[in-house]
Structure 1
Amino acid sequence: MSAAKPLWTTFLRFLAPLMLSNALQSLFGTVSNVYLGQMVGVGALAAVSAFFPVMFFLFAFVMGLSTGATVLIGQAFGAGEHGRIKIIVGTTLAVGLLLSIAIALVGGIFSRPLMVMLATPADILDEASAYARIMLLTMPLGFIFLLMTAMIRGVGDGLTPLLALALSTAIGLILTPMLIRGTFGLPAVGITSAAWAAAISNTLTLIVLAAYLLRRKHALAPDATLLRHLRLNGAVLGKVLGIGLPSAIGMVVMAIAELVLLGLVNGFGSNATAAYGAVNQVMGYTQFTAMSISIAVSILGAQAVGGGDRAQLDGIVRMGLAFNIVLTGGLVALIYLAPRAVLGILITDGAVLDLAKGLLNIALWSSVPFGLATVFSGAMRGAGVALTPMLLSIFAIAAIELPAAIILSHTVGLTGVWAAYPIVFCAMLILQMDYYHLVWRKRAMQRLI
């Protein structure tokens, strides 16, 4: 990062394509659900929504893995140790392949029992199980795609992942309605259309991405050097997991909490499940904005740590907090101006729409404290410290969110489940901020690689 340029321009130049990338990922899920809700029905939307926490649970591992790899890549890049980058990438891809293939084999067989365990309403169980089966079987494609686009950002390249996601999203959005209806000679696969479209788009985009990286002689190009390092390097793997495993565990705990919350929501019927899915889609945009800022803080912070620049790391944290208030807070405010119009894109049923609007009003604003909390944890993660922030998050979820959701669901009903979100996100902000300022900030800063 150049010292001659203001930090906010460096931050924004990296953040902008990152936010667009995450928006594209959300867009594919949202528009796919629009296709299903409008072309198939509310039952299809509810069936896909029932699988959402499972998908989050599984992708938590790959996102944690990519986090650890990206931090190490960022530190190596900031320190000028470019020769170590492909060792990190090769090890990470090898682990990702092994993990995703195991998930595909086991998950594809046990998809229906899994959906039964989640207390999926009987009227959507068959559709939810069919969707889950295809998503699980094609999981390796999604894992490798997410790993590659995440790791490319570690060297400060936010544009290439954006282009890859744009291509993948465009292919997926074109294929999904074609697969719903069975047009242009394609089979009509109904509710599984979005899953098949994602698998096909990931495959085609990975091929194009590999060719692009090779032609550009990119630091992460899949050349002979990278292929030689496509194996488990014990020393590097230990460092990747040292950061990635706590991050993954933290996300898994969040996913388990989502499964518990979904079980509570499912107890109120399929309309509540459909509303849950729609509200999660809308909140996904505000939370992905916050997470984009956190990722930018982590990656740019890792480069600052690699270069041994504490002052720059402090400035990156301040930028992250400011951007969260402006961007995440601004998006929340815009949605609050017209919640029915936003939710109406996903929902056609009037009763479900009214229900979803009330739930959105309760929970949406909490994306702001969520974002502020992730800035502090992201900065510490960029320096290679992931365990304590993870433990603080687990404490907030286990000791505050779940008890609040269970108690409030029995005392005030469905709205009580959603009240748990602002409660836990505010608690996370207090815990992460206090630890950052009172403990971690006073320690010496060291790079890992």
Structure 2
Amino acid sequence: MSAAKPLWKTFLRFLVPLMLSNALQSLFGTVSNVYLGQMIGIDALAAVSAFFPVMFFLFAFVMGLSTGATVLIGQAFGAGEHGTIRSVVGTTLAVGMLLSISIALVGGVFSRQLMIALATPTDILDQASAYARIMMLTVPLGFVFLLMTAMIRGVGDSLTPLLALALSIAIGLILTPMLISGSFGLPALGITSPTWAAAISNSLTLIVLAVYLRRTKHALAPDAALLRHLRLDRAVLGKILGIGLPSAIGMVAMAIAELVLLGLVNGFGSKATAAYGAINQVMGYTQFTAMSISITVSILGAQAVGGGDRTRLDGIVRTGLAFSLLLTGGLVALIYLAPRAVLGLFITDGAVLDLAKELLFIALWSSVPFGMATVFSGAMRAAGVALTPMLLAIFAIVAIELPSAVVLSRAIGLEGVWAAYPIVFCAMFVLQMGYYLLVWRKRAIRRLI
């Protein structure tokens, strides 16, 4: 990074490709579901949905692993220690490959038993088991792709992961319908088509990415020096997991809380459930924006920690807060200006649309304090402090969000469930900001690696 360049420009140059990457991933998931629903049928969508809990836990772990690795890579990059970067990359890939190969072996054999244990309806059990088997057999490719693209961001490069993701998605979107229909001489693979398409696209993209990184002499190029570090370094792994596991646990805790809230919403009938689904789709985009800003703070902050520049870290936090207000707040304001048009993309029933609009007005603005809370937690994570921010977040969920949702749903009805969102996100903002300003900021920062 150039010291002469204004911080907001550096921030924005990293943030925009990151946000586009998140948008592309969401688009790919949506289009894949459209392919399955339109070309095979509703049972295919149900079968894929049955595997979602397993997929979420796998995703939470790999995201936690990549978060820990990215922070350490950012610190090493900020300190100019390229040998240390290779050590982190090698250890991360080694543990990711060992774990994913184990998942592939176990999942390939016991996928049907797993889907039975998840109480998958018998009419879709065969399809769900077939999908789960191929999904888990191809997990190693997905893990390596996700880890590599995430770790590249650690050296301040968010454009290369965007281009890699765009290539992978383009290949996947072309292959999926061809494999579903069995056109151009390809086998008709039915419900497993998206997983095979993803495996092929990840493989081809990883080859292209490796060639590109070597030609550009990128810090993460898979050269002989990096391959020598492809092993488990216990000291490095401990530091990766020290940051990554709290991040993964935080994701799981929020997901469990969402299941509890969904249970409360379901008690108000199918219209309430339909409105819940649509509102979560809309809030997902505002929260994606907020999380992208948090990741940017974490990576740029890690580089500042690596360089021992506390002043720059403070500036990154201020810039992150400003972008949270501007981008997340701006997106929220745009949605508030035309809520029916936005919700109408997901809902056609007039009564459900009216209900969703009313509930959206209660909850949507809370994406702004949520985003600002994640700026503070992202800054602390940049210095390797992940446990306390995670505990504060879980405290807010368990002691504030869930009790508020239960009590208010009984007192004022469905609106009470949605009121729990602004309550908990404001609480998270106060807790994270309070700990950052009153405790963490008074401590000396030291890089971990």
Report the structure number with the largest CA radius of gyration. 2
**Partners in 2 of 1:98 and 1:23 — Cα distance?**
30
For the aligned residue pairs, the C-alpha RMSD in angstroms reads: 3.2
Which digits, 9 at most, give the CA deviation of each residue in 1:270-290, with x for residues without a partner? 887776555444333222211
Tell me the equivalent position of 2:387.
Answer: 387
258-267 vs 5-14, greater mean Cα deviation: 258-267
Deviations 1:63-108 (A, max 9, x none): 1111111111111111111121111100011111122223334445
Q: Deviations over 1:400-420 (max 9, x none)?
A: 233344555667676655444
Residue of structure 2 in register with 1:240 after alignment: 240
Q: TM (normalized to structure 1)? A: 0.88
Are 1:9 and 2:16 an aligned pair? no
Map 1:406-425 to 2 at 5 A. Answer: 406=406, 417-425=417-425
| Paired amino acid for 2:294 | S
SS of the equivalent of 1:56 reads helix
Partner in structure 1 of residue 250 of structure 2:
250
Q: How many angstroms apart in 1 are the aligned matches of 2:353 and 2:113? A: 30
TM-score (norm 2): 0.88
Aligned counterparts of 1:411 and 1:176: Cα–Cα separation in 2: 48
Give, in angstroms, the shift of residue 201 of structure 1.
Answer: 1.9
Matched letter for residue 95 of structure 1: V
Following the alignment from structure 2 to structure 1, what is the Cα–Cα distance between the partners of residues 49 and 357?
Answer: 17
CA contact (8 A) 1:53 1:258 kept: no
Give the whole-Å Cα distance in 1 for the aligned partners of 2:207 and 2:428.
40
Q: Which residue of 2 aligns with 1:71?
A: 71
Give the whole-Å Cα distance in 2 for the aligned partners of 1:228 and 1:357: 56
Q: Distance in 2 between matches of 1:188 and 1:276?
A: 36
Which residue number in structure 2 is paired with residue 299 of structure 1? 299
**Following the alignment from structure 2 to structure 1, what is the Cα–Cα distance between the partners of residues 69 and 6?**
27
Distance 2:102 2:426 in 1: 37
Instruction: Name the residue aligned to 1:167.
Output: 167
Residue 293 of structure 1: how far off its partner (Å): 0.7
Aligned length: 449
Relative contact order (alpha carbons < 8 A, sep ≥ 6): 1 or 2 greater? 1
SS in 1 for 2:426: helix
Q: Which amino acid aligns with 1:251?
A: M
User: More deviation in 32-41 or 304-313?
Assistant: 32-41
Q: 167-176 or 107-116: which moved more?
A: 107-116
Partners of 1:180 and 1:193 within 8 A in 2: yes
Counterparts of 1:145-156 in structure 2, within 5 Å, are 145-156=145-156
Q: For 2:427 and 2:111, how far apart are their aligned partners in 1?
A: 35
Amino acid at match of 1:298: S
Change in 2 beyond 3 A, CA 1:323/1:95: same
Q: Which residue does the alignment assign to 1:433?
A: 433
Structure 2: which amino acid aligns with 1:429? F
Query: Does structure 1 residue 33 correspond to structure 2 residue 33?
Result: yes
Q: What is the CA-CA distance between 1:173 and the residue it aligns to?
A: 2.0
Aligned to 2:367: 367
Most deviating of 355-364 and 171-180: 355-364
Aligned to 1:84: 84
Q: What percent of counterpart residues are identical?
A: 85
Q: Distance in 2 between matches of 1:351 and 1:112?
A: 40
| 2:323 is equivalent to residue 323 of structure 1 | yes
| Distance in 2 between residues matched to 1:351 and 1:141, nearest whole Å | 45
Task: Give 1:437 deviation, angstroms.
Answer: 0.8
In structure 1, C-alpha distance between the alignment counterparts of 2:282 and 2:128, rounded to whole Å: 21
In the alignment, residue 309 of structure 2 is paired with which amino acid? D
